[in-house]
Copies of this chain bind each other. A is one copy, B any other.
Amino acid sequence: MVNDRLDILKKFFKKNRRLPSYSEMLSLFGFSSKNAVFKLINKWVEANLLKKINGKLSPTSRFFALPLLGNIKAGFPILAEENKNYLTLDDYLIEDPSSSFLLKVSGDSMTGVGIFDGDIVVVEKKKAPTIGDIVLAQIDREWTLKIFRKDRRRRINYLEAANPKYPPLYPHQELQIYGVVKAVIRKFN
């Protein structure tokens, strides 16, 4: 089966975080001639799974990506080849790795926007949040995750929970924004 070999290659990459060399592929695929590898690779380059830039081989985004399917309702959407979109989660979720970090959320103050206890949020360090952003902030020396709001009458910024249980937080002394929440992820089980 042709697809077996691609699976083998993907597994190698997942494990080693690099592509194998042609000689490594010899044993990986069970070939005994490097030319067999050569031809196979070129087929994958053709299929836009790999690419070669002056002899250097690298995977394309398609190599990793999972199919992204659209609406369900009537028919199962996976079957239509042209409807397929592909997505790698790291690329999708994290725009700037060097200024991002993950934060495990505790508490129920943000359930209104679908952030629950135990969820992980992607926070991007940022100077200027937009009103309405979910921010990681320090208010009067306490760190918290809340919605960034502006009180137009009093002309100050404050923090709001996404849960009616909690009152809005107006800073007595200081409100400092550390970062903006770009995404939430939650794993089941």
State A122–B88 Cα separation when bound (angstroms).
11
Interface size bucket, A side?
Answer: 35 or more
- Interface assignment of A44: CB less than 8 Å from any CB of chain B: no
Q: Contacts of A94 on B, CB cut-off 8 Å?
A: 66, 89
Q: Contacts of A57 on B, CB cut-off 8 Å?
A: 18
State A18–B93 Cα separation when bound (angstroms).
20
Q: What 1/0 mask marks residues of chain A from 128 to 163 whose CB sits below 8 Å from any chain B CB?
A: 000001101010001111000000000000000000
**Pair B188/A103 contact, Cβ less than 8 Å:** no
**The residue from B21, B74, B111, B144 contacting A142, defined by CB atoms under 8 A apart:** B74
Counting from the closest, the 3 A-B pairs by CB-CB distance are A72-B143, A68-B102, A18-B58
